[in-house]
Amino acid sequence: MSATSLPRRFFSGLVHAVDSDYFPSGAEATRALPEKLDWARAVPFIFLHLGCLGVIWVGWSPVAVTVCALFYVVRMFFITGIYHRYFCHKAYKASRSVQFVFALIGLLCVQRGALWWAAVHRHHHAHSDEEIDVHSPRQKGFLWAHIGWMTSSRNFPTDYRLIPDLAKYPELVFLNRFDLIGPLLVALLTYCLGAFLQRHSPGLHTSGPQMLIWAGFISTVLLFHGTCCINSMAHVWGTPRYDTGDDSRNSFLLAIITLGEGWHNNHHRYQSSARQGFYWWEIDPTYYILRGLATIGIIKDLKRVPESAYHRDNFVRK
């Protein structure tokens, strides 16, 4: 490598870190790369997990652990109820301003932009457990389906061709391009919250660094793996109700972890339904929250479970 190419590569990498749509060789050329682990892509995941070790130095407090848990639940809802059921499947309607706020807050989940998320997920449904499914345990193994696929450079560009209904909004494209806003805001908000509580409520025994580790790093890692469990575990463990032509399963445990996404076989059968737990005993907290938001007028027109979903002729014959 020449001496002049080093600054160029550094500058290119810096720009790309800020602008997720910047590809020197073009998005199409990047998508044509071999599917393999790229250590440059793995660095953010390694950093995120290593950051959890900061708990050794900052310790813990009841308030830090509580905020960690609450931040997990709130952001899991934004993944399941907003990124997934709205941006991917349009399971209900929202105004343009509400849609923008949803996409902005969704960045706090640190799972990239809503448009990238939706494009990958729509591709998954179109090719579920087929050879070109980017996160199929059947095709590429459990570990690759869980996390490995995100370390491959070819899966990084947003395929805007798959989301024309979303790509027509420039404000959504902006948030998707500059998704670094999300992790930076998480770091700032969690640190400032801890510092504020330390100053004004010292009896809570927390601090900026402690809140950053617990609500920033630990909560985000738990959220990441909770979400990825659907890509991996929900296609391996559980029980199918419908013959969907893929390996999707229903799992009560995963439904608890992901606020209702564990009814994955239900979802693969009727993708646009706002409700994924089709029966009263299939707990679906995300749907309950969506019903509440619809009641107060923030969203509207939740798509119902079709009546055919309850016809036993459609069930897998055992």
Across the range 300-308, mean pLDDT stands at 95
pLDDT tens digits, 72-123: 999 999 999 999 999 999 999 999 999 999 999 999 999 999 999 999 999 9
| Residue 126 domain-assigned (yes or no) | yes
| Residue 160 domain-assigned (yes or no) | yes
Lowest mean per-residue pLDDT among 241-250, 265-274, 308-317? 308-317
- pLDDT of residue 285 exceeding 70: yes
| Residue 33 domain-assigned (yes or no) | no
Specify the pLDDT at position 23. 87
| Residue 100 domain-assigned (yes or no) | yes
Specify the pLDDT at position 312. 85
Q: Give backbone dihedrals phi and psi of 38, rounded to 5 degrees, phi first.
A: -115, 115
Specify the pLDDT at position 318. 58
Q: Which residues, in sequence order, are bridge partners of residue 93? A: 300
Range of the domain at 99: 42-314
Specify the pLDDT at position 1. 47
| Residue 301 domain-assigned (yes or no) | yes
| Residue 20 domain-assigned (yes or no) | no
Q: Measure the CA–CA gap between 125 and 129, rounded to whole angstroms.
A: 9
Average pLDDT value for the chain:
93
| Residue 159 domain-assigned (yes or no) | yes
Across the range 43-68, mean pLDDT stands at 97
| Residue 229 domain-assigned (yes or no) | yes
- pLDDT of residue 2 exceeding 70: no
- pLDDT of residue 295 exceeding 60: yes
Lowest mean per-residue pLDDT among 4-8, 38-42, 74-78, 109-113? 4-8
Across the range 174-198, mean pLDDT stands at 97
Total domains in the chain come to: 1
For the whole model, what pTM was predicted? Answer: 0.94
